[in-house]
A and B are shown apart, each in its own frame.
Chain A
Amino acid sequence: MPFWKKESLTLRKNGFHNHQLKLYTLEEFTNSTVSFDSLPKFELVPFQPLNKNYLNVVYISNAIFAVILAIGLTLFIIFNDFVRSNVILWVAILIGIIALLFWLSNISFRKKGYALREKDILFRKGILSTTKTVIPFNRIQHVALHEGVFSRMYQLSELQVYTAGGSSSDLHIPGLPKEEAERIKSFLLNKITVLENVSNVIEEPIFPEEIREENHPIDESRSDSENETQN
């Protein structure tokens, strides 16, 4: 069982339970005092590592880059006297760079991780720093899956979560097994739609006038389009 299906078991511990998506009434809108300590703690969330095969994908692209670098250096050795005169030094530098590249991507792989909570998705990354981003489900705009050439060899895909906060807050979660990514995606999309529906239900009693007025032109356009399609 994927961990995020167990959410109802594991995540209930975290404070607020409106998981059943009960419909709020106006009274429940009052802002009772919140005890900060009782809130679920984002800093204690355990992160899921990426799929191990993703490290191979990264290594493959690193290797290609390394080969290109090596070819470049070989050309230099053949054609450039200055480089040819200290071949050993340059080869050592190249090997150093490649080793550093592999080492850093290994660290980066181990630092990357994601977590799904009842109401938000978290992603962690970074080499020198640790960056944690939290995106609540009700702020997700849409979700996309990407598959690179090498990722496809290992049946992996990248999940991209878009928000209205611009590209800096979009999540790119690479190295997810394809099926898992698909499931997370439909899980997220499902969450979004359910949340939207709830907010629709609530809005109506609060601004009945506005809703009616603003719906009017839309209803018209809808009937228009239906007529046109019937033609």
Chain B
Amino acid sequence: MYDFSKPQRQSVKGIAIMFADTLQGIIRGLWAPILLVIYKFDWSKMYFLIFGFLILLLLIGVIAYLKYINFTYFLDEEKQEFVIQKGVITKNNITIQLDKIQQVNINQSVVQKLVGVFSVDIDTAGSNKKEASIRAVDNQVALHLKNKLLSFEKTTIDILTDESSLETEKPFLKISFLTLLKVGITSNYGRSIALLIGFVGTLYGGFHDVVTSFEVDEEEVNGLVDRGLGYFSLSFFLIGVMVLVLLINLIRTVVKYFEYQMVIQRKALAITHGLFAKKNTLLKPAKVQITAFSQNFFQRKLNLFDLRLKQASSTDEAGTEGKSSNDIEVPGCSPAEKEAILQMILDKIPTTKEILKPNFRYLIKAILFGIFFPCAIFTFMGLFVFEALQSFFPVMIAYVLLMGMIVFFQFRNYRLLLSLDFITLKGNAWDVQHQLIEPFKIQGITTKQYLWHKRSDVVHLTFHTAAGDLSFKFANYSALKPWINYWLYQVERSNQNWM
């Protein structure tokens, strides 16, 4: 009854959906001019407007009809492919391998509900969801199509979810309240400071509004503030900010990761945490694309690691696994626990055979863009544009010292650690991070070489993985070439599933 083997059109009602889509697109693209026209319009010429509007609607109708006529899809059972052909002026031909399909979603928007059709969105790993979407089919067709498409799928259905409640094993990893406190104090300074700056910014804006709207004499207030804020109170204020940052950190960490627990259930990791909202996540080790762990100076003293497991980023299985983001974080674990998790996920503990350092040009670029240009711009502004800035020139010394330290540590930590089974990218000045990938999980490799780097044999390397790109810049090309060939060999001969 439902035969998808020949090119099919969508439901005739689909014209209405195409119409709505096109109209929406036009309004979204042209809302500013449209508003302007309405605002400036001479209402005595109303008829013109209505006439123009009708013509526009007619035009959209024609476009919608053409879109409908030119959109066909069919299932090639022999080649195991699903093919969508679309496009009025530019013809697009999308072919999807059936076993590459991650998920098929049947959705209904408000407009679709009005007309009584459904959209079928096919989710393949990696590409945009919108690429393969059939906008208007009847309910029955949608269900059958979904069934047909998914019946070729191999191993993505989890039986694990059904049994997870039955098994209660002893936790593989448990993070105590004390550890959470330690983590809260030692990590995520950057994020909390940004949060605080945003908060203070809005607060200051509000304060400023009050001052101007009540016509309080601004000079008077400023003078008061100046007198009040001596150096003593400034340092006091800074300490207050630091305490606040720590407090925000602590509360965030505790609320988010309260009673963090990791249990092994049939080769998968089940993770639960949260104070108010318990969050459950089920993770198959094979699905982890990038394993990252980081440690800053304080955490090193406390023997703590922050571990992050990155999964393929385009599969949103929020329904079954209840996660909002694809990153799974283990906020604080001891070295032994870290090793155990790595062992669990990677099957072996990474070793290092060769260490690649970046070229000194890395340092030059960082100094130019991090220190020299900002200072030059600041000096220029102070000398020629706002003379008031000149009194802040001493701040530059502190800035140069701070940035110099950051750049130095960044350069010292920026390394590519290589072994036959692992690629490790080490980096960052403060939170020293190691990002691990297994060569067979690479999706593609890009090298980029600028003309002026040719003679010095410098190249920028990028690994494309399903969880995002990893780049190592200013590498020695000659040292890298055999490795790239080796990784390609690893990927191409590997029959291991990358997820």
Binding site for B on A (CB under 8 A): 15-16, 18, 24, 31, 34, 36-37, 39-43, 119-120, 126, 128-139, 141-149, 152, 162-170, 185, 189, 192-193, 196, 198-200, 202-203, 210-211, 213-214, 216-218, 221-222, 224-225, 228-229, 231
B80, B93, B159, B492: the one contacting A145 at CB < 8 Å is: B93
For B312, the chain A residues whose CB sits under 8 A away are 164
Interface hits, B426-469 → A, CB 8 Å: 442-451, 462, 464-466, 468-469
Q: Roughly how many angstroms separate A99 CA and B147 CA in the complex, as a whole number?
A: 56
Q: State the Cβ distance, B370 to closest chain A Cβ, in Å.
A: 22
Q: Determine chain B's interface SS by DSSP, over half rule.
A: mixed
Interface hits, B307-340 → A, CB 8 Å: 312-314
For A43, the chain B residues whose CB sits under 8 A away are 481, 484
Kindly specify which of B11-19, B124-132, B236-244, B247-255 makes contact with the partner chain.
Answer: B124-132
Known: A129-B448, A162-B126, A166-B126. A142 touches B100 (CB 8 A): yes
Q: Is B99 an interface residue (CB 8 A)?
A: yes
B2, B449, B491: the one contacting A138 at CB < 8 Å is: B491
Q: Which of A42, A120, A134, A202 has the most CB of B within 10 A?
A: A134
For A162, the chain B residues whose CB sits under 8 A away are 124, 126-127, 131
Q: Is B277 an interface residue (CB 8 A)?
A: no
Q: Are B443 and A163 in contact (CB under 8 A)?
A: yes
Q: Are A136 and B492 in contact (CB under 8 A)?
A: yes
For A39, the chain B residues whose CB sits under 8 A away are 482, 485-486, 488-489
Q: Are B159 and A214 in contact (CB under 8 A)?
A: yes
Q: State the Cβ distance, B79 to closest chain A Cβ, in Å.
A: 7
Q: Is B168 an interface residue (CB 8 A)?
A: no
6 further A-B contacts with Cβ under 8 Å, apart from A129-B451, A138-B494, A169-B446, are: A18-B493, A34-B420, A36-B485, A136-B444, A139-B443, A145-B92
Q: Are A139 and B491 in contact (CB under 8 A)?
A: yes
Kindly specify which of B51-59, B148-156, B184-192, B377-385 makes contact with the partner chain.
Answer: B148-156
Q: Are A146 and B90 in contact (CB under 8 A)?
A: yes
Task: Please encode chain B, from 267 to 309, with 1 for each CB lying within 8 Å of some chain A CB and 0 for all others.
Answer: 0000000000000000000000000000000000000000000
Q: Are A129 and B91 in contact (CB under 8 A)?
A: no
Q: Considering only CB atoms, which chain B residue lies closest to A185 in the complex?
A: B95
Q: Roughly how many angstroms separate A120 CA and B494 CA in the complex, as a whole number?
A: 13
Known: A142-B124, A169-B446. A120 touches B90 (CB 8 A): no
For A169, the chain B residues whose CB sits under 8 A away are 443-444, 446, 464, 469
For B159, the chain A residues whose CB sits under 8 A away are 213-214, 216-217
Q: Are A141 and B126 in contact (CB under 8 A)?
A: yes
For B465, the chain A residues whose CB sits under 8 A away are 165
A40, A132, A229: the one contacting B446 at CB < 8 Å is: A132
For B493, the chain A residues whose CB sits under 8 A away are 16, 18
Q: Are A41 and B491 in contact (CB under 8 A)?
A: no
Q: State the Cβ distance, A204 to closest chain B Cβ, in Å.
A: 11
Q: Is B144 an interface residue (CB 8 A)?
A: yes
Q: Roughly how many angstroms separate A132 CA and B449 CA in the complex, as a whole number?
A: 9
Q: Are A198 and B495 in contact (CB under 8 A)?
A: yes
A40, A146, A166: the one contacting B313 at CB < 8 Å is: A166
Q: Are A144 and B464 in contact (CB under 8 A)?
A: no
Smallest CB-CB A-B distances: 7 pairs: A165-B464, A164-B126, A165-B443, A169-B464, A225-B147, A36-B482, A164-B125
Known: A133-B446, A149-B90. A189 touches B492 (CB 8 A): no
For A15, the chain B residues whose CB sits under 8 A away are 489
Known: A138-B491, A166-B468. A199 touches B497 (CB 8 A): yes
Q: Considering only CB atoms, which chain A residue lies closest to B491 in the complex?
A: A136
Known: A16-B489, A42-B484. A165 touches B444 (CB 8 A): yes
Q: Considering only CB atoms, which chain A residue lies closest to B127 in the complex?
A: A162
For B313, the chain A residues whose CB sits under 8 A away are 166
Interface hits, B83-102 → A, CB 8 Å: 89-97, 99-100
For A202, the chain B residues whose CB sits under 8 A away are 495
Q: State the Cβ distance, B463 to closest chain A Cβ, in Å.
A: 8
For A130, the chain B residues whose CB sits under 8 A away are 448-449, 451
Q: Are B1 and A163 in contact (CB under 8 A)?
A: no
Q: Are A224 and B147 in contact (CB under 8 A)?
A: yes
Q: Are B492 and A138 in contact (CB under 8 A)?
A: yes
Some 16 contacts from A to B, beta carbons below 8 A apart, are A42-B481, A130-B448, A135-B443, A138-B494, A141-B100, A143-B95, A149-B89, A162-B127, A163-B126, A163-B444, A164-B126, A169-B443, A169-B464, A213-B159, A229-B2, A229-B144
A37, A148, A193, A216: the one contacting B482 at CB < 8 Å is: A37
Q: Is B157 an interface residue (CB 8 A)?
A: yes
Q: Are B491 and A189 in contact (CB under 8 A)?
A: no
Q: State the Cβ distance, A138 to closest chain B Cβ, in Å.
A: 7
Q: Are A142 and B488 in contact (CB under 8 A)?
A: no
Task: Please encode chain B, from 56 to 91, with 1 for each CB lying within 8 Å of some chain A CB and 0 for all others.
Answer: 000000000000000000000001110000000111
Q: Is B498 an interface residue (CB 8 A)?
A: yes
